[in-house]
A and B are shown apart, each in its own frame.
Chain A
Amino acid sequence: KAGVTQTPRYLIKTRGQQVTLSCSPISGHRSVSWYQQTPGQGLQFLFEYFSETQRNKGNFPGRFSGRQFSNSRSEMNVSTLELGDSALYLCASSPDGQVGTEAFFGQGTRLTVV
């Protein structure tokens, strides 16, 4: 069974630009969560989608948004990029059930904002 796939692996963007990251969950998993990982703040929850609906959201500004498609694939978008958005963005998929249980992570997308 294929794992969680995130693309691209690396991105370099300029301040003010926007970026879209993609996540393909494990086959059969309908819950997709996104996390931001930085050395200073650690792993922080962004949002979670289940059956194309956002079920839960973390404490991030509205510049961070996401969506989920009917095949469970998910995208997250960050608009008006700031230097502080430089981070590893991780996607995790979970089988049906309680949010976050048995969450399997992808390798992440390393975003650098210059």
Chain B
Amino acid sequence: GDSVTQMEGPVTLSEEAFLTINCTYTATGYPSLFWYVQYPGEGLQLLLKATKADDKGSNKGFEATYRKETTSFHLEKGSVQVSDSAVYFCALSEPGGTSYGKLTFGQGTILTVHP
């Protein structure tokens, strides 16, 4: 079955540091890939997405590139802020079939940014 593996956290960084959160996946088809962010006490918000190989999703300074050859979708940000502290989830969705739209999540990575 489909699965998503994220780098284990927690990740602790100083403000303005470079961020990478690794994400790899296994899927039977050609999935869409997502990064969701969950701020404390809140639900998930879609951060960015990519629907096909070599697509780059970007939002709020974060970006991730859909790499089919390495089955990866690593999240990066050049300069993190304290307000980026949250839990980040990588996820995939298979197109078509009975599981259309169903998301498979990674385990989440807690990011803490210190001033």
Q: Do A and B come from one complex?
A: no
Partner-B contacts on A (CB < 8 A): none
Partner-A contacts on B (CB < 8 A): none
